[in-house]
């Protein structure tokens, strides 16, 4: 009797072309500061329809350099969701800017434009927009508010490579956008990320900042400014280029798994599948369901684990983290939708290699859990 393979929460989609691309770099001897990192940035920019792409060591590094390039710092407020990964807020703290938390839409989990406008003060200088779980934010409304209030806009699209809003690829909105390529993302470089932008100054600063502050035309050990080691190595870039060449296929594989889940969960009354607005192209990052009122995700996670089915809470709100509470002086912001999602949003096992049988195992596990709760 064949034993079913263990269910994985996520898993990178690696093929032999990827392996050969990395092996080729290893054989070349040029492992850093080479052509592949530059090519990856250029190809990402081309796909996003902008002039510049800068490959870096992580999505966090990309966001940090955007914040730095925009000159955000002490005394500046930046509007940001709390329902996000901690890096979206940490990069503001690196530069001394003050995060001001904005509630989210209960369906898409993205920034609520109405809540956004309510939080603007004379000290507000920018907004960090997160395209949660691969679903684009409401960009038309957000950009209109930003223009009216003279706010700079950063697109944290680390979870949404390949997504589109009204037919336009993410990466074109705001002053600059960041992508991330951790192994659970749409494409992976192992660790890695990138900035894409039409802004010449941001791109130039990013290229300098990622390389210890050296100017592109400067001498080898000349440093024009304080910088970082945020470079992407050539092995990672080679893997990213190979993966990016089949991005459409990787997105289609993830979409197939999401559709399988959607078909099987549509009649499960105690949870709701993800909402995808008709004017967007979803780029599936994780598959997050919302439990009905009266259910809490923690007992569900525990009951699934007893069946060998992993599940995760997405997200634990950033404003609850100890270092953020310290910044806020112990005060809890008024974020009712975020708090409700923190109790009831649940990520199921999800990656492009999942089989129909594996999706069925997860859904059957959920049905068994319901009988116990």
The ranges assigned to domains in the chain are 16-244, 247-372
The Cα 361–Cα 113 span in angstroms is 38
Q: Tell me the CATH class for 247-372.
A: alpha beta
| Per-residue model confidence (pLDDT) at position 2 | 54
| Per-residue model confidence (pLDDT) at position 1 | 43
Catalytic residue, chosen from 119, 125, 185, 372, is 185
| Per-residue model confidence (pLDDT) at position 219 | 63
Cβ atoms within 10 Å, residue 341: 24
Name the architecture of domain 16-244.
3-Layer(aba) Sandwich (3.40)
pLDDT exceeds 50 at position 231: yes
Per residue in 134-187, pLDDT tens?
A: 999 999 999 999 999 999 999 999 999 999 999 999 999 999 999 999 999 999
| Per-residue model confidence (pLDDT) at position 3 | 59
In the block, tokens 């995060």 appear at 99
- The distance from CA 121 to its chain's CA centroid, rounded to whole angstroms, is 27
Q: Per mean pLDDT, which range of 47-61, 104-118, 146-160, 220-234 is the poorest? A: 220-234
Mean pLDDT of 237-262: 98
Query: What percent of the chain lies above the pLDDT cut of 90?
Result: 93
In sequence order, which residues have a C-beta less than 8 Å from that of residue 164 and are 6 or more positions away? 136, 170, 280, 281
185 is an active site residue:
yes
Per residue in 290-306, pLDDT tens?
A: 999 999 999 999 999 99
The mean predicted confidence, pLDDT, of the chain is: 96
| Per-residue model confidence (pLDDT) at position 329 | 92
pLDDT band at 222 (very low <50, low <70, confident <90, very high): confident
The Cα 193–Cα 301 span in angstroms is 30
At what angle are helices 87-94 and 59-69 packed, to 10 degrees? 40
């Amino acid at each position: 009797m064949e034993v079913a393979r263990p269910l994985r929460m996520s898993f990178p989609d690696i093929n032999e072309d990827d392996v050969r691309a990395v092996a080729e770099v290893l054989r070349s001897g040029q492992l850093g500061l080479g052509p592949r990192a530059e090519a990856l940035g250029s190809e990402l920019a081309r796909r996003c329809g902008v002039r510049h792409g800068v490959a870096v060591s992580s999505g966090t590094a990309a966001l940090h350099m955007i914040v730095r390039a925009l000159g955000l710092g002490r005394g500046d407020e930046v509007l940001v969701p709390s329902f996000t990964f901690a890096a979206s807020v940490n990069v503001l703290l690196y530069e001394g800017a003050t995060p001001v938390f904005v509630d989210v839409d209960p369906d898409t989990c993205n920034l609520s434009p109405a809540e956004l406008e309510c939080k603007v003060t004379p000290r507000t200088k920018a907004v960090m927009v997160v395209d949660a779980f691969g679903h684009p934010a409401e960009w038309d409304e957000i950009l209109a508010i930003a223009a009216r209030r003279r706010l700079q806009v950063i697109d944290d699209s680390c979870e949404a490579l390949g997504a589109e809003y009204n037919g336009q690829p993410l990466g074109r909105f705001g002053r600059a956008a960041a992508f991330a390529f951790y192994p659970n993302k749409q494409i992976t470089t192992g660790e890695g990320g990138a900035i894409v932008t039409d802004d010449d100054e941001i791109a130039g600063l990013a290229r300098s900042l990622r390389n210890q502050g050296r100017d592109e035309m400067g001498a080898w050990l000349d440093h024009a400014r304080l910088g970082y080691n945020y470079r992407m190595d050539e092995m990672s870039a080679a893997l990213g280029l190979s993966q990016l060449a089949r991005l459409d296929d990787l997105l289609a594989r993830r979409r197939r798994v999401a559709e399988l889940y959607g078909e099987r969960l549509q009649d499960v009354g105690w949870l709701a599948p993800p909402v995808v607005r008709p004017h967007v192209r979803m780029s599936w990052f994780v598959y997050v369901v919302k439990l009905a009122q009266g259910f809490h995700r923690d007992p569900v996670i525990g009951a699934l684990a007893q069946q060998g089915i992993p599940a995760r809470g997405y997200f634990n709100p950033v404003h609850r983290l100890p270092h953020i509470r310290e910044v806020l002086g112990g005060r809890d912001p008024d974020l009712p939708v975020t708090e409700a999602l923190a109790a009831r949003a649940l990520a199921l096992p999800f990656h492009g290699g999942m089989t129909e049988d594996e999706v069925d195992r997860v859904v059957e596990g959920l049905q068994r859990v319901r009988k116990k709760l």
